[in-house]
Structures are given as structure tokens and as C-alpha cells.
Structure 1
Amino acid sequence: MPISDTKARKALPAAKPYRIPDADGLYLDVRPSGKKYWRIRYFLHGKENLYTPGQYPQVTLKEARQQRDAVKHNASQGIDPKALQQEERDRSRRSQEDSFESIALEWWEKHQPRWTSHYAQQVKKGIEREMRPAFGSKNIRQITPADVLRLVQKVEARGAPSVAMLVRQWIAQIYRYAASTLRADHDPAAPIEGAVQRPPVQHSKSLAAEDLATLANQIDTKGGWRINAIAMHVLMRTMLRTGELRQGRWEEVDFMRAEWRIPGERMKMRRPHVVPLSKQVVELLQELHGYTGHMPLMFPSYRHPAKPMSNTTINKALERMGWQGRFSGHGFRSTASTLLNEHGWRGDLIEKQLAHMPGDKVRAAYNHADYLKERREMLQWYSDYIEAIMQGAAAPLVPARMRA
């Protein structure tokens, strides 16, 4: 008599395994542990075999009978049901191993040593916060252009078009990597390249001399935590990017030479950069050393000292000082560039101090300290210039040999 679902459900374990038969070779194997497994007896090439559809009740009676019919049919055609089952398991395993998320993280691990730590964190957040919820567990071959379009439109709709463009670009790079390792044969991000438009570039605003003087005078009284105030003073006088300054380490500073040597992995252009330090900056860093010199980081986070200060710290300090919407931390670079150009300093010195990529990349790779003497003189002049305008005095003279 065929088994019923009620009989299968109420079957109790015994001291030894026992069977409850259904029909055509299907039966329920009840184990002493209380677990119940469906088994199917079938013959292949004249030999008896046993196939296990799964455990009850995860596999229902109806599903077990459907599998029995499929097993019997395949065996009658000379096809081994166990081999098919193993192929399906292997396919499922490969599908998990070739999920978008696993390959995206593999791509990230492979490339992040070549990136700055800030950019590597930015890409990691893009994978974890944007891509993973959208299609992280999907097999990478199953993702369509429509899937990618929905994701970038969702990001754009929340007011982050720049992030949407980056996400599409990163997805394209992930697929190029997957294709190079023979795990993908198409890039679903390619057809939607123009779906998100780049927003107008908002260049960092430069301050006029009188506004720079006002800001410089406010830092000590309104800049908040002294380490943040020092960070703004140093940023103002070195022309560094905020990320390069925030992640500074004491091992990079040579007080005897009055130099800050930043390794290439922390520079945007991936080349070492030597920053000559003016007397004023040396004094500021000596003061800072009294606060943080016992730690590796020069500008640690207030709440998490093992990490550098947040990328929003300086901008928030400027907002509290009343400069919201008028000026940002990155604006110190453009301000210095503008004022140095206005006073006639040679453009090649200014560009070198900004660590911009020159036309001759090969030469730059082997001569990262060029113009060091001239740049030292320029940055000392600029620090003296800031002191002068803070006091309402005239700007110091620019040496004729340094003029454009």
C-alpha cells in the first residue's frame, strides 16, 4: 500500500533503521536519530542502485515521487541518475563560487594594493552598499543590463549621480576581470554607459587674499580641537590634498631636513612626493608632535585614535567657523595656486608642489624631488605671505629668478 503523508509524518524512530515502502522502488528510510530519508531503488545496466532524493519533510512525498519517476526514466535510457545529481551539485557549487559578490571581492583584493587606501575603501563601500544588495549572490553570468540599469538609476535617484557613474564603471571593471578568468563572457554595464550623466564639476573655490587672512586668523580661536586647527594651518601652507595630510605618519617627517616624504601609495598619482616644510609648518608639526608623537598617525581620529581623522573633519570645522557653502578643505590647494600665480611664481614650481602629473611621466618617476630647493623657497614665501596678510602687512617680494 503506498505511503501517505500522514504516515510519513507520524513515523517514529526505532532502535534500528526501518523502511516504509511507497511504490515502484520508493520508500522512506527512518533512522534511529529520528531523521527520515527518501530512497529510490533502481536498476542500471542490470545492477541495483540506490538514489536519495533528500530528507523528509524538506522533500515532500509529491516531490519524492516526481524524482522517482525521473530516476526510473533516466535509468531506462542508460543515464546514471547519480551522475546527474552530482552534476547538479557541482553546478550549484560553481554558481555560488561564481557569484557576483565573490568575484567582485576577488577583483578588489587583487587591485587594492595599487590604490590609495581612501580609494580602496570607496570601492569596497560601493561593492558592499550598492552592488551586494542588488545582485551579490547571483551568478555573474545571470546579471543583465537591465539589472545594472536599475541599480545605477536607484543610486542616481537618491541624489548621487557621481556615485552611480562610479558604480557602473566598477561593475564594468569587475566584468573585465571575470572575463579574463573565463567566468563571464559579457559586460552588462557596457550598453548603459550613457544612462547616467556626469554632474557639472564643482571646482574648489579659491579665497581672495583678504578672505584667506580672515580665515587664517579665525582658526586658532574658532577651529575647535587643537589638532584640527593645526591640520588646517598645515594644509593651508603645504598645498597637500586633505587625504594625503589626514593619513600622514610621523615616520614620514624628517625634522632635521624640514621635509615630509609621502610614499607613492598614499598619493593620488601613485608617486612619492617630497614636501619641503617652511619654518612655520615645522613649528606647527613640533607642537602637534607633543600631542600625537607617541602614535604612528600625525592626525588621528578623536574617537578612534588608531584611525586617521575623518575625511569630513576639516570641512565640518570650516562649517562651524561659518564657511559652509563658501569654502572647503580642498580649497586651500586652489587658493595657494591662485595666489602664487598672481604674485608671479613660476607655474612649473606650483604644479610640482601640487603633485600634478607632468607631461614627461618617465622623467617624473625618476626625479620626484626635482625643484626641491625652489619649492622650499616658494613655500617659505607663501607661509611668510600668510603671516603678512594676517597682520595687514604687504606681501613679501618674489625673487626675480622665481618669476614666470
Structure 2
Amino acid sequence: MLNSKVIKALRPKERRYQITDSEGLALRIQRSGVKSWVLRVFQNGRIVDITLGHWPELSLIQARATARRKKKELELEPSGSYTVRDAFKFWCSKKRGRIISYRDEKLRLEKYVISKIGSRQLDTITPPILIKLMEPIEQAGKQSTVKRLLMRTREIFDMSVNAGYLQSNPLAKITKVFAVPEVHHMASVDWKELPIVVSQIEALAPPKYKVLFYFSLATLLRPGEVVSIRLEWINEEAITIPAEFMKMKRVHRIPLTPYLIALIQEAKTIRKNKRSPFLFPGTRPNKHISGQALAKWLHSQAEFKNRLVAHGLRSTGRTWFADNDVPLEVAEACLAHLTGSQVVRAYQRGDYFASRSKILLGWHAYIQTCARCAQVLSQNPDKSGDPA
């Protein structure tokens, strides 16, 4: 069978000649150097050569797909051409590094779609096949997974159409078959409830999880970003996280306050692995603790189950900003969110560092007030009511 390197190396000769690929497909090289794809079929008692197009305008994979379609049109047994796995690999080559959720999307597709129908010819896939594939996932209550799988599978087929491997996308309207998943926000608490939450943290949490909780609350980073903090990123002014470690792929600076400095010192004190480059080291060498560590601990406590998750602390802080009249752009910058259109961001390239420094001083003062209330509550356990 041919490959791109062999095709490119073929040179014209004194007479026209052709090189066979497979299943009747061949590449014909003219004396002029023009390379044409031809399909040889047996029709009406004689052998017929059908010209499909020229190389490189029609690539090898496209020629195989075109030959397959032509055989189907002529009601001949079609040869193998472009599979679902081929289309998936093409999607991977175009999406790698371009979408934030690439790794998760790739693993999800491999698990639920490619492992089931990856070897099938692309033009044999119909909506009923994919619907049958999705039904067990929907019945398991994973509507959001179904939504993302359908979106990405449809995207794979759209790209195959654009690349010339398919004439049309049979899955264009398949999302209409399944119900739209309900959106459930991350479990969180209002900032006014924070004194109670902090008192429960003080009473229940081991030192490691206590520091991790306060650090997450103070920085308002995403759980995975919190645990990835390296000591070398911390200087006298800020914690500077490189773009590749942030969800939005932009450098993020967290202004240091006296409270945050004290938390960092406490985290360093309780670290068991003193040689680790991470502020929150894991048990394995040169690894940080799991991004789900705090979430799992909160879930294991009856007081927090279905009430608060690690990611929900960001919502608590964001609500405090809103109720304390923090400007939208500054509040969103504290959470490392992007605001404004692409044009606006092209002109506004600052990160509101000075403004965020002032805002975080107020936010950290409130956290410290909650901690003092928790200490008062623990010293007077018979008193009831809101410690705030």
C-alpha cells in the first residue's frame, strides 16, 4: 500500500505508469508529472478505470474514502478506507494544545466511543448506532457526559466532512434526541455563613487540611492550581503562577498580604517532605498532593457533605466581593477569570495587581475575623447562635 512519502518520491518516466494502492485504487503518473487517482472496477462485463482526482489536491486518505464511496454508488463491495479511529486521530492532531479540556475530552472519547466503534468505517456510522452507544450512559445519570460526547463526536464528523473524508455529517442533529442536562452549581456557602464553617474546620480538620482550606479560601485559586504552587514561585511581593499551570493559560499573580505570608509559613512548617519543590507536597517524590484532597476530605465530613466543596470557596469569595462593591473587573481578576471581549483584552493587558492587593487585605481581614469568632465559640461551647 502507498504512503505519502512514497507518493511524493514518484517521478515521471518516458511512458505513463501507475502504482497500485489496494482494492482497485491506483496512482497514475503521467509523462508530464501529473499524478492522478484512478479506481479500476469490473462493470458490465469489462474493466473500467474511473478517475477520482489529482494528487496532492486529493490526498491518499481522501482518495481511499472517495474510492469507497464510488464503489458503494456502483453497488460494488466497498474497500476499507477511513475509520472512526482515523477521524479521531485527525481531531486530536488539530485540537491538541488548542482547547483547555483537551486531555479530559480525549480520554472521555476513547473510553465511551473509540473503544466501541473505532474500527468501523466512518461512512457506516448512523445516528441510531451512536444513540444506542449513549443510552447506557444516560441511564446511569451522566447527562453531562452524554452532552460532551455528542458535541465532540459531532465535531469529529464535521472535521471529516471539511477534510473531504465524508460528504455530509449524519450526526448533525443528534443532540436533539437527548434531554438537556440540568446545571447544578458547585456546593458553596454564603460568606455570612463563613464564621460557622470556619468553626467547624477548626474543630474537625487535621493541620494539613486546615492550612489547605485557609490557603484555598485566601487565594481563591482552583483546587488543582492550589496544590501545584511551587516554592520558587513565591517572592516578597506575590505568588506568580506561570501560564501553563492556569486554566485560562495566562500568568496569574496573587498579591502577598501578612495573612497569606503567615499561611505560607505554616504550610512550610507542617510539611513532612522538606525537599519537595511544592508548598503542599505529596507522599511521592517530586509530586504535590492530589487536587481532590480537600474536596474528598470535605465530602467525608457530614457537616460539609452536599453543602460545600473545595471549588465552592471561590463562589464564597466572589459573593463577598459583590456585596462589598468590588468592581467587576477587579473581582474577576481575583478569580483569574477573563473579562471583556477579545478586542478589550487586547488593549487592557494589566492584571489589576494594585487594586487586588487592597481588596485581598479586606478579604483576608474578614477570614481572620471568622477565625477569631471560631476561637470564641470553642471557648464557650454552651453558647448557641451565629458566632458572627
User: TM-score when scaled to structure 2?
Assistant: 0.68
Once residues 263 and 245 of structure 2 are traced to their aligned partners in structure 1, the CA distance between those partners, rounded to angstroms, is 22
Once residues 204 and 301 of structure 1 are traced to their aligned partners in structure 2, the CA distance between those partners, rounded to angstroms, is 26
Deviation at 1:311, TM superposition (A): 4.3
1:355 counterpart residue number: 336
* Distance of aligned partners of 1:260 and 1:220 in 2 relative to their CA distance in 1, 3 Å threshold: same
Q: Is the 8 A contact 1:210 1:389 kept in 2?
A: no
Q: Is the 8 A contact 2:88 2:156 kept in 1?
A: yes
Counterpart selection for 1:269 from 223, 237, 248 = 248
Deviation at 1:254, TM superposition (A): 2.9
1:288 counterpart residue number: 267
Deviation at 1:294, TM superposition (A): 3.4
Counterpart selection for 1:103 from 43, 65, 87 = 87
Once residues 184 and 46 of structure 2 are traced to their aligned partners in structure 1, the CA distance between those partners, rounded to angstroms, is 70
Once residues 298 and 335 of structure 1 are traced to their aligned partners in structure 2, the CA distance between those partners, rounded to angstroms, is 24
The alignment of Structure 1 onto Structure 2 pairs a total of residues equal to 306
- Kindly provide the CA deviation profile for residues 246-267 of structure 1, in whole angstroms up to 9, marking residues without a partner as x: 334444x23222x223333443
Match of 2:98, as an amino acid? R
- Kindly provide the CA deviation profile for residues 78-130 of structure 1, in whole angstroms up to 9, marking residues without a partner as x: 759xxxxxx99x979x847x3212431342243221333xx233112212210
2:298 counterpart residue number: 318
SS at 1:373 equivalent: helix
- Kindly provide the CA deviation profile for residues 60-94 of structure 1, in whole angstroms up to 9, marking residues without a partner as x: xxxxxxxxxxxxxx8xx6759xxxxxx99x979x8
Once residues 347 and 225 of structure 2 are traced to their aligned partners in structure 1, the CA distance between those partners, rounded to angstroms, is 21
Q: Is the 8 A contact 1:152 1:165 kept in 2?
A: no
Counterpart selection for 2:236 from 234, 237, 256 = 256
1:341 counterpart residue number: 322
Once residues 166 and 388 of structure 1 are traced to their aligned partners in structure 2, the CA distance between those partners, rounded to angstroms, is 43
* Distance of aligned partners of 1:299 and 1:127 in 2 relative to their CA distance in 1, 3 Å threshold: farther
Once residues 116 and 352 of structure 2 are traced to their aligned partners in structure 1, the CA distance between those partners, rounded to angstroms, is 50
Once residues 186 and 296 of structure 1 are traced to their aligned partners in structure 2, the CA distance between those partners, rounded to angstroms, is 52
Runs of 4+ in 1 over 4 A off after TM superposition: 77-80, 304-308, 365-368
Deviation at 1:142, TM superposition (A): 1.8
* Distance of aligned partners of 1:346 and 1:126 in 2 relative to their CA distance in 1, 3 Å threshold: same
Once residues 119 and 278 of structure 2 are traced to their aligned partners in structure 1, the CA distance between those partners, rounded to angstroms, is 38
- Kindly provide the CA deviation profile for residues 318-359 of structure 1, in whole angstroms up to 9, marking residues without a partner as x: 123320011111211111111222233333321221233322
Residues 1:161 and 2:161 aligned together: no
Q: Is the 8 A contact 1:205 1:334 kept in 2?
A: no
Deviation at 1:141, TM superposition (A): 2.2
Q: Is the 8 A contact 1:240 1:333 kept in 2?
A: yes
1:215 counterpart residue number: 197
2:127 counterpart residue number: 145
2:153 counterpart residue number: 171
Q: Is the 8 A contact 1:237 1:382 kept in 2?
A: yes
* Distance of aligned partners of 1:112 and 1:311 in 2 relative to their CA distance in 1, 3 Å threshold: farther
Q: Is the 8 A contact 1:255 1:282 kept in 2?
A: no
1:20 counterpart residue number: none
Q: Is the 8 A contact 2:187 2:306 kept in 1?
A: no
2:118 counterpart residue number: 136
1:330 counterpart residue number: 311
Once residues 166 and 377 of structure 1 are traced to their aligned partners in structure 2, the CA distance between those partners, rounded to angstroms, is 40
Counterpart selection for 2:99 from 107, 110, 115 = 115
* Distance of aligned partners of 1:305 and 1:225 in 2 relative to their CA distance in 1, 3 Å threshold: farther
SS at 1:268 equivalent: coil
Once residues 299 and 390 of structure 1 are traced to their aligned partners in structure 2, the CA distance between those partners, rounded to angstroms, is 22
User: Higher relative contact order by CA 8 Å / sep ≥ 6: 1 or 2?
Assistant: 2
1:192 counterpart residue number: 174
Identity %: 25
1:31 counterpart residue number: none
The alignment yields a C-alpha RMSD, in angstroms, of 3.3
